[in-house]
Amino acid sequence: MLLSSAAMERAIARTRTAIVSATLLICAAGAPGCKDQAKESAKHAVEDANTLADLVDKDVGEIERGLPEGAKTLGALYAKGADPKGDIPAVRSALLKTVRDVPDLNIAKSTFFALADDKGLGIRNNLEQDAMAGQDLMKLFPGIQKSVTDGTFVTTTGAFPGPPAANGPDKDWIATMPVKGDDGKVKGIFVTGWSYRRFALHLQDTLKRELQDALKKSGDTGKLPIFYIGVFDASGVYTERQTPKVNEDAMAGLKLVEKTAAGPAQGTINITERDFGWAAKRTPKLGADTGIIVLRSEL
């Protein structure tokens, strides 16, 4: 008996589903073919890690160039001995204008820009709701002291107070540049930065767009691979907040600081019966012993 076109399509769909299900069962059992697929995923992860490491350099480079230029502009707040603490709304307006007018800052991935005094006490940030005013930033980030004592651009890490994410604590990367008055002395500090988890989300979203664009250009109608991005250092691995904790824990267990000590590293790993390939690479501009990891599965 001949099948109708609709019945034939349903039969084909059932066959495809059966093939996919069988493949997944085989992979769950750890078949060699799936191990080979994990190695292939690791090769792709290396390419992704190289792309994202270049992006990290670009993102930090925007801050390295833009913050000193912005600090010069903010010097107007201290003209003729003025104290910006006496006009907090004017400080926020100056920050908004500075970020808008300095090209590198306008496209920077920072989550905030702020002005602190020469003791590191927050005066105002550019956000509508300011949670940084009055915070002792030097206590939270001791490394920024060099901006005052040496009058230089500084990057460092620490953590703003607040509840931890579902996956665990976060970490903040910040950059500072001294703001000088008419007399050439340091009067304040221009501060910006982002959290590691928020930065991991930025990297993950960027990679997703690039993979989608590559599929479109190639005419491939297949699905995107499953992938997760983390920022690592000696304190652990930090992924975006929606990453399954078991995946983040598995990445942390790879001891990435050790594995990347001599250069980029890659490998395969099984997490909850799924084989992944991974690649990790140091990103010195973010800090010593700091880097990114890509966890990827084509299945």
Question: Given this model, what pLDDT does residue 34 score?
Answer: 53
User: Does the pLDDT at position 162 exceed 90?
Assistant: no
Structure tokens at 284: 């010195």
Are 294 and 45 contacting, i.e. CB atoms less than 8 angstroms apart? yes
Quote the CA–CA distance of 235 and 230 in Å, as a whole number: 13
Question: Given this model, what pLDDT does residue 21 score?
Answer: 37
Question: Given this model, what pLDDT does residue 256 score?
Answer: 98
Question: Given this model, what pLDDT does residue 167 score?
Answer: 84
Residue/partner pairs of 235-243 with CB below 8 Å, 24 or more apart: 235/171, 236/168, 237/293, 238/170, 238/171, 238/195, 238/196, 238/197, 238/200, 239/167, 239/197, 239/200, 240/197, 240/198, 240/200, 240/201, 240/204, 241/165, 241/166, 241/167, 241/197, 241/201, 243/167, 243/200
Rg (CA), the chain: 24
Quote the CA–CA distance of 133 and 91 in Å, as a whole number: 11
At 220, the pLDDT band (50, 70, 90 cuts) reads: confident
Mean pLDDT value across the chain:
89
At 174, the pLDDT band (50, 70, 90 cuts) reads: very high
Question: Given this model, what pLDDT does residue 54 score?
Answer: 98
pLDDT digits (tens, 9 = 90+) for 34-79: 568 999 999 999 999 999 999 999 999 999 999 999 999 999 999 9
**192-212 as b/e: b if 16+ CB within 10 A:** bbbbbbbbbbbbbebbeeebe
User: Does the pLDDT at position 28 exceed 60?
Assistant: no
Percent of the chain with pLDDT over 70: 88
Return the CATH number of 31-53+198-297, one of 1.10.3470, 3.30.70, 3.30.450, 1.10.287. 3.30.450
Percent of the chain with pLDDT over 90: 80
When pLDDT is averaged across residues 17-25 and rounded to a whole number, the result is 36
Quote the CA–CA distance of 39 and 59 in Å, as a whole number: 30
Task: Given CATH 3.50.50.60, say whether it is the number of domain 62-194.
Answer: no
User: Does the pLDDT at position 203 exceed 80?
Assistant: yes
Question: Given this model, what pLDDT does residue 216 score?
Answer: 87
Are 145 and 120 contacting, i.e. CB atoms less than 8 angstroms apart? yes
User: Does the pLDDT at position 10 exceed 50?
Assistant: no
pLDDT digits (tens, 9 = 90+) for 226-268: 999 999 999 999 999 999 999 999 999 999 999 999 999 999 9
When pLDDT is averaged across residues 165-176 and rounded to a whole number, the result is 92
Letter for the amino acid at 242?
A: Q
Quote the CA–CA distance of 33 and 151 in Å, as a whole number: 58
Question: Given this model, what pLDDT does residue 18 score?
Answer: 37
Question: Given this model, what pLDDT does residue 16 score?
Answer: 36
Are 115 and 123 contacting, i.e. CB atoms less than 8 angstroms apart? yes
User: What is the pTM (predicted TM-score) of this model?
Assistant: 0.86
User: Does the pLDDT at position 299 exceed 50?
Assistant: yes
User: Does the pLDDT at position 7 exceed 70?
Assistant: no
User: Does the pLDDT at position 14 exceed 60?
Assistant: no
Residue in the block written with tokens 């989550």 = 111
**Residue intervals in the chain for CATH 3.30.450.20:** 62-194
Question: Given this model, what pLDDT does residue 263 score?
Answer: 97
